[in-house]
Structure 1
Amino acid sequence: MDIFCNFVAKIKKMDQLSLIKQPIDQEFNEFTALFKESLTHGDHLLSEMLTHIRQRGGKRMRPILTLLIAKNYGGVTAETQNAAIGLELLHTASLVHDDVVDESEERRGQASVNATYSNNAAVLVGDFILSTALLYVSHTNNQRIISNLAQLGRTLASGELLQLWNISNKDISEDIYYDVIKQKTAVLFESCAAIGALSAGASDEEVEKAKLFGQNLGIMFQIRDDIFDYYDSKEIGKPTGNDMAEGKLTLPVIYALNNNPQYEAMMNLARKVKARTINTDEIAVLVEFTKRSGGIEYAEKRMEDFHQEALKYLDESVSDTAIRDALKAYLDYVIRRNK
């Protein structure tokens, strides 16, 4: 029965992804071919490493967003495609570098670049991909797009540093949590939407609305990702409490701790998370406390709040039915995904 249910869920997910890509099916195929070309090189080791990275590709949700937003404001152009490739390459480089910083051994169920080769090689290939991102975005000849991508790189780096600082910060703050995820995750979706609009010649007001839509979408995405950390699932691809093991306190446990101040023992465990001295059994206690204290429900409610804000954009700024349906399916996919 479980096998059948999983099969049905996969079919539904495929149908949803087809709906999301339907208005840009041809353009997405063009993007995929160009992106593969951008991660191809003749040198032996570099070629091998780039192939390793390509094989863990994922669903390319961010470039899909760029293409959909561009289509909403007039159409996907060569400028859009080069910008989308630049964005996805920058994102890819940031993941390679993040794995080195976090000493991660896996990425999407596959051995990370640093684990397969070395930290030195991973940093260098990350630099190569970042430089390739700059090359492609320069082909847009659009100063605002180039500036947006450059600022994105700065924000991603500052977000990583903010997260490192927050691990040692004694305060357990929901505001700082949002500051971190806006700079680490939401800013990527924000830039994808803004650059898609810019590439299609949208007005300043339209670009700002698309940007806010992307931010709300990105925050939803990260909250969903953080909720995964409280459940043990092979599909998700990371063990329960992995964030805590890395010194990170996310929205569910932040809410539980701040709304149950009488549980000093739990606050002590949270301090051990930040000090990176917590053990597996203690993480399990903190996870169970979070669930019992309504942390998951609160995070899901906040995710729904951002979902409703994002839906307003569809009502106000998307007139084409197929694109509206695709973006609505995109939001549904993000909020209901299981990995």
Structure 2
Amino acid sequence: MDYLSLIKQPIVEELNDFIQFFNKSLDHDNGLLSQALNHIKQRAGKRMRPMLILLIAKNFGKVSDTTLHAAVGLELLHTASLVHDDVVDESAERRGQKSVNALYDNKVSVLVGDFILSTALLNVSYTHSEIIVRYLAELGRTLSDGEILQLSNIQNADISEDAYYEIIKGKTAALFEACAAIGAESVGASKEDVLAAKKFGQNIGIIFQIRDDIFDYYNSDEIGKPTGNDMIDGKLTLPAIYALNSTNNEEMIAIARKIKAHQISSDEIARLVDFTKQNGGIDYAEKRMWDFHSECMSFLESRVADEEIRKSLTAYVDYVIKRKL
């Protein structure tokens, strides 16, 4: 099934307008900066977050320049965070393409990320909406806090599913939550509708991150990272957390603690990956995704009246849960 075409169907014109706004925001005359920004434009991806903003806005009203500037601001903030994350993680690739720091260096990457962040703030100011500006500012704080929480959790010996969800809600889920809330706010939706949209976005973000984490248990050039990459970085994700906590296998728990301490070998990572698969970790993570999927469907049934938009948002949630990269 061509999920992306279904998702875009109600917002073809609005998405084209967004792309024009976004690309124009990254135009620059400076040679080196222009090169880096053009590279970022070319690896723009599927536009999942802007599409969510546009769909939620269209569900509750009419997409306007306020919606478009808000969408550009949020997408630029997200882009800046990825540029900075690649520096922190020392990543040479993102989704199979060279990162900015791989093409240039860390100094250039940090400065490019700062420029994009400032451009995000400039664009969101064009909405003339105090609440949307506040959403974006809070999102920036939440994303930074989430990254720091993840780093501190690596040093925590406990292997906790609650901590896993707390980290997700401060990172990926926060982005999708802000998309849905900003989309609703940009068209003057009621407080109740904005809150419902926020929860819908958060659930999508949790599904998105769990799916990303499952990818780490399988090798794929398309994904742009080898098997066990999260473990190399000291991170334990939901599949392994479940397998470890449900079995209490002392040998594997010892390996998990070595992962958190960054004292792990590739052979030990391979053993924990195999252990996770054999002890229901992937199956459990899949089940949890479908639990959150059910919550998303409840929102669509109760808050989305237009059939075309409901089909589009259903395809959106289905794509997030079934995607292959």
Same fold flag (TM > 0.5): yes
Q: Which residue of 1 aligns with 2:129?
A: 142
Residues 1:337 and 2:323 aligned together: yes
Q: Aligned partners of 1:287, 1:332: CA distance in 2, in Å?
A: 26
Q: Aligned partners of 1:277, 1:303: CA distance in 2, in Å?
A: 31
Deviations 1:120-173 (A, max 9, x none): 110000000000000000000000000000000000000000000001011110
CA RMSD of aligned residues (A): 0.6
Q: Aligned partners of 1:233, 1:101: CA distance in 2, in Å?
A: 23
Q: Which residue of 1 aligns with 2:197?
A: 210
Query: Among the aligned pairs, what percent are the same residue?
Result: 66
Range with greater deviation from structure 2 (136-145 or 31-40): 31-40
| TM-superposed deviation, 1:235 | 2.1
Deviations 1:195-244 (A, max 9, x none): 00000110111100000000000000000000000111222221110100
| TM-superposed deviation, 1:281 | 1.0
| TM-superposed deviation, 1:104 | 0.7
Q: Aligned partners of 1:108, 1:299: CA distance in 2, in Å?
A: 22
Q: Which residue of 2 aligns with 1:192?
A: 179
Q: Which residue of 1 aligns with 2:286?
A: 300
Amino acid at match of 1:316: S
Aligned length: 325
Q: Aligned partners of 1:234, 1:117: CA distance in 2, in Å?
A: 23
Range with greater deviation from structure 2 (36-45 or 324-333): 36-45
Amino acid at match of 1:160: E
Residues 1:282 and 2:268 aligned together: yes
Structure 1, unmatched stretches of 5+, are: 1-11
Deviations 1:11-55 (A, max 9, x none): x3xx22111010000000110111111111110010011011111
User: Which of 55, 61, 66 is residue 79 of structure 1 equivalent to?
Assistant: 66
8 Å contact from structure 2 (residues 216, 230) kept in 1: yes
| TM-superposed deviation, 1:114 | 1.0
Residues 1:90 and 2:44 aligned together: no
User: Which of 206, 213, 223 is residue 210 of structure 2 equivalent to?
Assistant: 223
Structure 2, unmatched stretches of 5+, are: none
Q: Aligned partners of 1:85, 1:330: CA distance in 2, in Å?
A: 20
Q: Aligned partners of 1:234, 1:129: CA distance in 2, in Å?
A: 28
Secondary structure (helix, strand or coil) at the match of 1:259 reads helix
Describe how 1:1-339 pairs up with structure 2 within 5 A: 12=1, 15-261=2-248, 263-339=249-325
Q: Aligned partners of 1:238, 1:98: CA distance in 2, in Å?
A: 15
Amino acid at match of 1:26: E
| TM-superposed deviation, 1:110 | 1.3
Secondary structure (helix, strand or coil) at the match of 2:286 reads helix
Secondary structure (helix, strand or coil) at the match of 2:223 reads coil
| TM-superposed deviation, 1:178 | 0.2
Amino acid at match of 2:259: V
Q: TM-score, normalised by structure 2?
A: 0.99
Moved over 3 A (4+): none
| TM-superposed deviation, 1:189 | 0.3
8 Å contact from structure 2 (residues 96, 221) kept in 1: no
Secondary structure (helix, strand or coil) at the match of 2:296 reads helix
Q: Aligned partners of 2:135, 2:21: CA distance in 1, in Å?
A: 21
Secondary structure (helix, strand or coil) at the match of 2:188 reads coil
Q: Aligned partners of 1:39, 1:277: CA distance in 2, in Å?
A: 41
Secondary structure (helix, strand or coil) at the match of 1:338 reads coil
Q: Aligned partners of 1:279, 1:114: CA distance in 2, in Å?
A: 26
Q: Aligned partners of 1:78, 1:51: CA distance in 2, in Å?
A: 24
| TM-superposed deviation, 1:277 | 1.4
| TM-superposed deviation, 1:265 | 1.0
Secondary structure (helix, strand or coil) at the match of 2:171 reads helix
Amino acid at match of 2:285: A
Amino acid at match of 1:146: V
Deviations 1:250-292 (A, max 9, x none): 000000011111x211011101110111111111000000000
Amino acid at match of 2:294: Q
| TM-superposed deviation, 1:75 | 1.1
Amino acid at match of 1:279: S
Q: Aligned partners of 1:279, 1:112: CA distance in 2, in Å?
A: 26
